[in-house]
Amino acid sequence: MTPANFVEPIWVECKNTEAKATIEQVNTFVGKLVESRWKLGFLLSVAGFTKDATERLKNVGNNPAIPLIVPISGRDIDELLHHRTELQRFFKASIRRVA
């Protein structure tokens, strides 16, 4: 039996670079999640994501056989801080955008 407050582990990877996260970086993250058998991952990229990376993330989000990957950009984090959004609300909204 699972305790009511049990939280499944999630994988978080951060890209703190001036360049946008690429499709290769997204594919590497997908591979890590699939191998780990975790069901949820957050990929944070301060600079955002390239067009190809964004398309790949959309395709991954539509495939129930692949863990859910939630992209978070620096702009998302800026908005979080600017609006002083509660973290739980922010992450739930981020998940809803891709789920």
> What is the per-residue pLDDT for 1?
40
The pair of three-digit structure tokens given for residue 38, joined into one six-digit string? 């975790």
Q: Could you tell me the pTM of the whole model? A: 0.82
Average pLDDT of the chain is 88
- Please report where in the chains the tokens 């069901």 appear, as a residue: 39
d(CA 34, CA 66): 7
Label residue 84 by pLDDT band (50, 70, 90): confident
**Structural domains of the chain in order of their starting residue, each with its CATH number:** 11-98 (3.40.1350.10)
Residue 6 has pLDDT above 60, yes or no: no
pLDDT for position 2: 46
Q: pLDDT tens across 27-68, in order? A: 999 999 999 888 899 999 999 999 999 999 999 888 888 889
Other CB atoms within a 10 A radius of the CB of residue 61 amount to 16
